[in-house]
Structure 1
């Protein structure tokens, strides 16, 4: 069934929704335009839509990217890749992670591009019948996947293997978001290691295919780099990785990324809690005065980390700030709505705009002691995705 895309936020019917995210697709278009301004004109974008497009809904987001001219996509695993292909995505789909060699038939059937994590894995795929498309992965210093530059003989061997069509070669920058001098030096060494391999392969007469290195912060911070493709991840979704990082606030020419996602739920019940009464599991909040408490329809099973409990996390109700109290439950949590005109069924905003006030994903990430990538990507399946232009 085709997902409905509303023409505006005002058209969305939330009457049957318990907890949901609203995705403003037009902000993706804006973010892609910003990314293009940061890249050389001939560089093509790989839309990274792994982890359900960082919680935004992979098939719908990828289809929208495709409508904007994006021809390449990246996912983490074969299951994500097949979902995209069965969802109608026509462009190249690169699997960034490992796929069991016994699934080579599926790689071929769905016309997927498999990351070749090292020579031994590539050789394993090569021995099985049928030609699979692949991207050579280089280990330039992260020590996750890939062959290092010291293994030039193995890297070159991958290009000669039977039953593998090498579509390109890439690596990943692991500290490009850091402003620390040691990390800048490390990143520059990663770039040098990558370029060494690329130049050696060219000198030895190999056809490399698509070359790519820049991830989100490689695009933002190392703008002089110039390869065939670039792989924006978190910046497509309009937020910094580190919630305290201000790099995205200092783009050239006043450019800004915009966050497409809002996270909302409903008020299920409103009640008065008198002095001495506790709220929630474990007696972790006791009222010292009479307060008005709302129970709202979201919990840690929806992807809201229990680590935000008892830290006065802000939410918005009817345009006004309220605070979370007690422990976040599996399916619900409680908020102090004293002084706010609120009733059952009202909308509660955890991320996004309500009236004149806005809450970014950074708040939840900070209180959870994590990065925004995780906060977004763990938003649960039972949280409905709703899309508008």
Structure 2
């Protein structure tokens, strides 16, 4: 079921921020220099690479999907924070004589790009430069190759940091690093340190979510033990020039993130803001605590006692950072213009949980997002589903899948429809899984010479796309293509919408045929991967099927049925996600006998008030609902559509609703007070099914997501 990826990460951020404060204050020095070394010079070194990895967790999937367009806002935000922080500490630099040193322009350039314009601000140029390097690598190279390059950079950093004694003993290497240190003071920077951890976080973000089990905890403890041992050896043999980079540090961060992201905890964005503020403000707080202690004669208590000094800095930093956590971010109210769609995120999350609860162990919900998520908005629904724990999605075309990837959607994305050779670059670039429907189709894709993940579509009786279930030779031929990796098999049920005896017989026959094909292939020693048979009605009418790894849910995911007369055997508490609304622009008063609209299709039989509503068939509202076949809700009361629906507007008879005024909101699907107009009823009145009605809702209708809490 739902597992939160961010709750554990959010809760470790304050811990990491306090470890950074410990590095800069040495809280245990008054008690034991050796113990303080273990804490601040070894274990606390987890903090900054953790922050790098968390940044990469969000950044790298975006970079892989959208490239430079994802990097630019990251750089903009980072540069803004860096600039504000540099201004905050500029008076201290001025007081210390920083701006009076010889060769200031060159020193400013070095510090701005590598060392930081104040001693803890090195993080910002590091993460910004590291982000640029990772963007270049993941856009040009395979992920494994990019990781190898980052690992080489990290090793080069190690040789200029914790293992500098080895470097210093080899003249060519010594000369190389002496040249490097003319450009920056430490290899603890964005060139050597940040890229590996950014990429590590991004790689973990793309992996399937797993619970925080004992293996990760044991791995974390073991890696921390290795880190401590390594740190003690570095100290014992005087190897370090500086001791920020350790060989075992990436292993520690890997297990730490694996454990944290599997914790079933809700996200806490306020902890992110508080931790960042503590990181930025704590050096200022160190100076304030020391200044106040000296002024009050409390140096022995608040400076020389390093633990109390640390606690005082933590208290003051936390206090100054509190407003950043407590003041909620104001989100701009989305504009509701002429016509719009409202999406109830809480309803969609509810449906995900309800439908997931119907599935057996080992079977996962696959969200079908084709046709712009049945008109709901594919990007909006994908993001909500991801947060609800869904890790696989289905679309109709490679272009639809690429759109999701460019928006940062992770997990499996299966293209259900046919794709030609021209789609292969999209399939490769955006890591999509393509459906293969026949040996000819497989050979067409295989000739492109690019490795592709595929699912095989098996025709068990619908006779649409797919290879025949009883054509064993053709099924085996699909596996002969060297560039296609078979990751799953599936079929589609033709008559699962009803439970009539004939439809039940047809459906059960299709299920038996599918398992026969699976047994034929597995018996031949061929991999079968994920198996999936059911879509929404297959699940609701036949319950979960043992042995399947996926259930493809489309219309039910959005809280709807295809027609109001449908009564599936399983009737879970599903909630409609979509409401469709438009604005009243004008009121017209007609005398008896006057006409309105194209062809005078409406004739007033009495004194009549018509409301002009700003939505039409170009927005996807069917013209078939003209002349009273469709209705809208105004002030909680139904009003019939008058005359013919136009391209951009329609008229509604509001004679019985006297308070309607320009600017009022008309509801075409959804609730208004106690009244409800359902998508199923509107589709039936238009002579179609809900699926078609909604998937026609056009792109000029903005999708506004509500109920995010």
- Among 334, 338, 353, the residue aligned to 1:18: 338
User: What SS does the aligned partner of 1:289 have?
Assistant: coil
Q: 1:210 to 1:198 in 2, by over 3 A?
A: same
Number of the residue aligned with 2:524: 204
What is the correspondence of 1:1-389 to structure 2 with a 5 Å cutoff?
13=333, 16-226=336-546, 227-247=548-568, 251=570, 255-340=572-657, 341-389=659-707
| Structure 1 residues 84 and 14: CA distance shift in structure 2, 3 A | closer
Give CA-to-partner distance per residue, 1:167-206, whole Å, 9 cap, x none: 1110101110023221111111111110110112122222
> 2:567 and 2:371 mapped to 1: Cα distance?
25
**Structure 1 residue 128, shift from structure 2 partner:** 1.9
Q: Is the contact between residue 350 and residue 359 of structure 1 (CA under 8 Å) also seen in structure 2?
A: yes
Q: Closer, same or farther in 2 for the Cα pair 1:320/1:208, shift >3 Å?
A: same
Q: Residues of 1 paired with 2:466 and 2:629: CA distance?
A: 44
Q: Give per-residue Cα distances to partners, 1:305-334, cap 9 Å, x unaligned.
A: 100111342211111221111110111010
Contact 2:334 2:704 in 1 (8 A): no
TM-score norm. by structure 2 comes to 0.52
Whole-Å Cα distance in 2 between the matches of residues 223 and 35 of structure 1? 11
SS of the equivalent of 2:693 reads helix
Is the CA contact 2:634–2:667 (under 8 Å) kept in the aligned structure 1? yes
Structure 1 residue 30: deviation in Å? 0.9
SS of the equivalent of 2:459 reads coil
CA RMSD of aligned residues (A): 1.6
For residues 17-69 of structure 1, the C-alpha deviation after alignment (integer angstroms, 9 at most, x for no partner) is: 11001000111111111212222122011110000011111112111111111
Distance 1:333 1:13, change over 3 A: farther
- Partners of 1:14 and 1:130 lie apart in 2 by 43
Provide the C-alpha distance between the structure 2 equivalents of 1:43 and 1:197, rounded to a whole number of angstroms: 20
CA contact (8 A) 2:583 2:614 kept: yes
Distance 1:115 1:331 in 2: 38
Tell me how far 1:15 sits from its aligned partner.
5.9
Do 1:243 and 1:371's aligned partners in 2 also have CA atoms closer than 8 Å? Answer: no
Give 2:140's aligned residue: none
Q: Which has the higher contact order (CA 8 A, sep 6+)?
A: 1
Worse-matched range after superposition: 59-68 or 309-318: 309-318
Q: Contact (CA 8 Å) 2:341, 2:578: kept in 1 or not?
A: yes
Please state which structure has a larger fraction of its residues in strand. Answer: 1
**TM-score normalised by structure 1 residue count:** 0.93
CA contact (8 A) 1:312 1:325 kept: no
- CA pair 224-16 structure 1, distance change in 2 beyond 3 A: closer
- Once the two structures are TM-superposed, the CA of residue 363 in structure 1 deviates from its matched residue by 2.2
- Contact 2:629–2:685, Cα closer than 8 Å, also in 1: no
Matches of 1:144 and 1:130, distance apart in 2: 27
**C-alpha contact (below 8 Å) 1:313/1:363 kept by paired residues:** no
Q: Once the 2 structures are TM-superposed, how far is the Cα of residue 119 of structure 1 from its aligned partner?
A: 1.1
The number of equivalent residue pairs is 377
- Paired position in structure 2 for 1:6: none
CA-to-partner distance for each residue in 1:252-271, whole Å, 9 max, x for gaps?
6xx31110100000101112
* Secondary structure of 2:588 counterpart: strand
- 1:12/1:297 Cα in 2 relative to 1: closer, same or farther (>3 Å)? farther
* Gap regions ≥5 residues in structure 2: 1-68, 71-330
| Separation (CA, whole Å) in 2 of partners of 1:251 and 1:142 | 24
Query: CA separation in 2, counterparts of 1:270 and 1:285?
Result: 15
Are 1:30 and 1:257, in contact at CA under 8 Å, matched by a contact in 2?
yes
More helix by share: 2
* Distance 1:55-1:251 versus aligned 2 partners, 3 A rule: same
- Deviation per residue, 1:293-313 (Å, 9 max, x gap): 111101111100100111342
Gaps of 5+ in 1: 3-10
Contact 1:49 1:58 in 2 (8 A): yes
1:98 Cα deviation (Å)?
A: 1.0
Q: Which has the larger radius of gyration?
A: 2
